[in-house]
Amino acid sequence: MSVLDSPMPRFHLAVPVDDLAAARRFYGGVLGLEQGRSTDTWIDWNLHGHQFVTHLAPERGRPVHNPVDGHDVPVPHFGLILTVPVFDELAGRLRAAGTEFVIKPYVRFAGQTGEQRTMFLLDPAGNALEFKAFTDDSQVFAA
């Protein structure tokens, strides 16, 4: 089944960046996303079948953080829920690229409902990303 045939809707997300060349190196080079259309003010990316766009916007707001599990989680943030093997491969790729993590990869809720791997990092423009993987994917919304 292709992404276009998936019963799950694809999202479109646009985020501000202050340097398109740095965004191209990070999203295309480090994260390995396929680049789509682009102009001198934006770039489309294929984020695992979702349309993710980096728009040139040099003005930035003040960062906000919320405490979660003893960590300062950046708000807003976005990311993907991956499989455990894909999460581990991405964490290795990010470490190899010398990525400075906001929150290093770790396991939350170990041995509990909703056990998951998670990591937070910033793109070159300061946009916060979270990638996670649930040990049991059926527990994504478990309370």
Q: What is the pLDDT of residues 46-87, one digit of tens each?
A: 999 999 999 999 887 787 889 988 899 999 999 999 999 999
Q: What is the pLDDT of residues 97-117, one digit of tens each?
A: 999 999 999 999 999 999 999
Q: Where are the beta strands (DSSP E) in the chain?
A: 12-17, 34-38, 42-47, 50-56, 64-68, 71-75, 77-82, 101-108, 116-122, 128-134
Global pTM reads 0.87
Cβ 106 vs Cβ 87: under 8 Å: no
Looking at the DSSP bridge assignments, the partners of residue 122 are 128
